Amino acid sequence: MMQTAARWTLLAIFLAMLGASAIAPWPYDRQFREETAAAPSARHPLGTDALGRDRLSRLLYGGRISILLAPAAALVSVSIAILMACGAALLGGWWERVASALIDLFLSLPWLFLLLAVRGLLPLNTSPGVSLGVTFALLGLLGWAGPARVMMAAAKRQLESDYILMARASGCGTWRLAAAHLAPNLAPVTLAQFWTTAPAFLLSEANLALLGLGIAEPLPSWGSLLRELSNVTLVPQQPWLAAPLVLLVITLGCCQLARAADEYSL
């Protein structure tokens, strides 16, 4: 019941963000110079920011960026992880050792730290579009180690199964074994890892943005909108400032419920 409700809520949020250009009252970068830092009104339901931009429009457009690109980055991570897991499990020997060592190396370095270090090295004149692409590409390229470890263990378990033995006995080659037998049977684990990674990337983008290393202005993202909360003292007087946080928490909470989050494993 709760899972269904969570999935419907997620779908509603996803559709609202996708239809941002139709729903949003104003373009995300339009500046109303006469209405800077305005309180909510009929014209601007969530008020305007310090530059006079409509907050609701930025929330919707920002949501579209976050909600599309975080899963895209998760897809990159999970794809790298499944390639690595299948390759290492099938080829075994040194390949497996090298893959395990790489995974250990990436897991031993907190990846938010790596992300921060590499993101900080972008040129000062990086355009908003490039910063957007680079931020999420880095998330995808640096966040594969956790899913890879889980998938490698799952792939090794699958390789001990009877159906794999039978496929091998009937002369199935390594790559066909990987593509036709192993990968489809790893689908549930892959999906679970995708559902774990995508919300983690949403949070990471938010943290990067809070530290001033997120997507460059004027492009909005949920993370960059959270920067308005840097002055926490304003929130009790202007609770509408917390709207991006509330939406982020609802989205991530629904993701947790949708994937029955109590299955955390070491």
Partner 1 sequence: MTEIPARGAAGGSQPVRSNTRSGKLAAAAARRLSALLLTVVASVVLGAALVRLAPGFGMDERQMDLRLNEESLAAMRAQGQSTGILTACRDYLSGLARGDWGVSVALGRPVRELMADRAGLTVRNLAGGLVLAWALSLAVGFALAVARRRAWDTSVTLLTGGLLCIPTGIVALVFLYFAAPSAWALAAVLFPRIFRYVRNILQDSARRPHVLAARARGCGRLALVWRHVSVPSLPELFALVGVSLSMAVGAIIPVEALCDSPGVGQLVWQSAMGRDLPVLMHATVLVAVVTCAANLFSDTARALVTREV
Is residue 264 a contact residue for partner 1 (CB under 8 A)? yes
Quickly count: other Cβ atoms within 10 Å of residue 117's Cβ.
11
DSSP states along the chain: -HHHHHHHHHHHHHHHHHTHHHH-SS-TT-B-GGGTTPPP-SSSTT-B-TT-BBHHHHHHHHHHHHHHHHHHHHHHHHHHHHHHHHHHHHH-HHHHHHHHHHHHHHHHS-HHHHHHHHHTTS-TT--HHHHHHHHHHHHHHHS-HHHHHHHHHHHHHHHTSHHHHHHHHTT--HHHIIIIIIHHHTHHHHHHHHHHHHHHHHHHHHHHHHTT-SSPTTS--HHHHHGGGGSGGGTTT-GGGGHHHHHHHHHHHHHHHHTTTT----
Minimum distance, C-beta of residue 260 to partner 1, in the bound complex (Å):
11
Amino acid (1-letter code) at residue 99: A
Task: Decide whether 34 or 263 has the Cβ nearer to partner 1.
Answer: 263
Site string for partner 1, 99-128 (x = CB under 8 A): --x--xx-xxxxxxxx-xxxxxxxxx-x--
Rounded to the nearest whole angstrom, what is the least distance from the CB of residue 32 to partner 1 in the complex? 27
Counting contacts by CB under 8 A, is residue 13 touching partner 1?
A: no
What residues from 220 to 239 belong to the interface with partner 1 (CB under 8 A)? 223, 226, 229-230, 232-233
Contact pattern from residue 138 through residue 177 relative to partner 1, giving x for each residue in contact according to CB under 8 A and a dash for the rest = ----------------------------------------
Nearer to partner 1, 75 or 229 (CB): 229
Q: Is 265 in the site for partner 1 (CB under 8 A)?
A: yes
Nearest to 247 by CA among 69, 71, 66: 66
Q: Is 15 in the site for partner 1 (CB under 8 A)?
A: no
Q: In the bound complex, what is the minimum distance in angstroms from residue 27's beta carbon to partner 1?
A: 27
Residue with tokens 């947790």: 256
In whole angstroms, the minimum distance from the beta carbon of 207 to partner 1 comes to 5
From 60-68, 150-158, 170-178, 203-211, span contacting partner 1 (CB under 8 A): 203-211
Whole-angstrom distance, CA of residue 183 vs CA of residue 177: 9
Return the number of the residue (178 or 221) whose C-beta is nearest partner 1.
Answer: 221
Q: Nearer to partner 1 by C-beta: 181 or 222?
A: 222
Closest CB 57 distance from partner 1, rounded Å: 22
Which chain residues interact with partner 1 by CB under 8 A? 101, 104-105, 107-114, 116-124, 126, 134, 199, 203, 206-207, 210-213, 223, 226, 229-230, 232-233, 245, 248-249, 252-253, 256-257, 261-262, 264-266
